[in-house]
Every structure is written in C-alpha cells, then in structure tokens.
Amino acid sequence: MELVRIGEKLISVQKIHNMVEELLQARSRGLSQSEAATQLGLDRAFVSRLESLGEVRRGRSIALIGFPVANKDSLQAVCQRWGVDFVWLMTDRERREFAESRSGIELVNEIFRIAHEVRSYDTVILMASNMRVRLLTALLDMHAVIPIILGETPLNRDVEVDVDVLESIIKEVQGQAGDGDPLSKGDSV
C-alpha cells in the first residue's frame, strides 16, 4: 500500500484509486453525476472535474457489429485507432461456433444481453447480410443504425470489408470528416 504524508495527514493512494474506479463504474452503469456522488459521499462538482481531467474524447459513442468478416484484424485496428467504444466482429467460423456452443435459450439470452448493451451507444454500425441487418436493426429499435450490407442472405463465407469506408463512416459519426486526428497509439479508451 502506497502512503503519502501531507503535513499531518497520511493519504492512501490505493484508497483514492479505488474510489475513482467505483465512481467511474457507477457512471458507466448510467448513474448521473449527482446520483454517483450521493452514493459515494462525494460532491457532484468533484465528479464533474474528475471526469473532465480524464476525458479523452467527447462525442457520439459508437458500437460496431460485423459478421462474417474476412479482415477482422484490420477492422479492429481502425476501431481502436478511432476510439470505437464497442466492437464485436466475427468470421464465419467464429459466428457458427458462437451459435453452436450454446443451447437455444442460452443463445437467445446472449443475443438479448448484447442487444441491450449495444442500445446504450449513440450509433451502431451493422455489417452483415441484408436479412441480418434488417433483423438486428429491428431488434435494436434505434434510429442511429448505419447498415453496411455484406451481401445477400445467407452468407456462408467471410467478406472483405473496405477499411477506408468504415474509417470514413466512423470519422463522419464523430464529426471529424476530413479533419481531426485519431487517438495516438499511446492513448486508450
């Protein structure tokens, strides 16, 4: 445990880290600054200042779902570079393993859990076959769904996605079309 003496006070650095982590978890679960501050016995203005200190990017939160994709690693690299908040990409083999490794009820529950999580993002980019995009768009029941049709249903092969097109969409959603720089390699989201 790291302790720091400030005058007559002995400060636990770990206690501060734990409190900040608890605060950020409460905020990411959807609590308002006031609710999180009250729950943790803090001042709301302190919560606001702390968030401002740690802010990396302001703007629309983005989720990306795509299957079956051939160039998964390249797409993930673009998403990481531009700070995409949620990325779920699968090859055809991974998609089949995902479905076959669960019972029917487990699969339905997992899909609904993921849909619930994805609905918390401002924009969802969906990359799938035409029928899957329509189905997922209806399931998410959101206005801010950007479809990228990978082909006609059924798709039984991995599809190469144009990385430049995806990057252009992400930049547009973030309001950085034509300008702005992605997060540098040392930054994390």
Question: Tens of pLDDT along the chain (189 residues)?
Answer: 789 999 999 999 999 999 999 999 999 899 899 999 999 999 999 998 888 877 544 568 999 999 999 999 999 999 999 999 999 999 999 999 999 999 999 999 999 999 899 988 989 999 999 999 999 888 888 778 999 999 999 999 999 999 999 999 999 888 865 555 554 333 333
Residues 39 and 13 in one domain: yes
Strand partners, 117: none
186 in a structural domain:
no
DSSP structure class, residue 67 = -
- Tell the residue number behind the tokens 């409190």, with chain if given: 19
178 in a structural domain:
no
Strand, coil or helix: what is 177? coil
Strand partners, 159: 69
Residues 107 and 83 in one domain: yes
Domain range for residue 25? 3-54
Residues 71 and 31 in one domain: no
Residues 77 and 167 in one domain: yes
Residues 139 and 71 in one domain: yes
Residues 163 and 108 in one domain: yes
Residues 120 and 140 in one domain: yes
Overall pTM surpassing 0.75 (yes/no): no
Residues 139 and 46 in one domain: no
Cβ-count burial of 56 within 10 angstroms (0-12 exposed, 13-18 middle, 19+ buried)?
Answer: exposed
122 in a structural domain:
yes
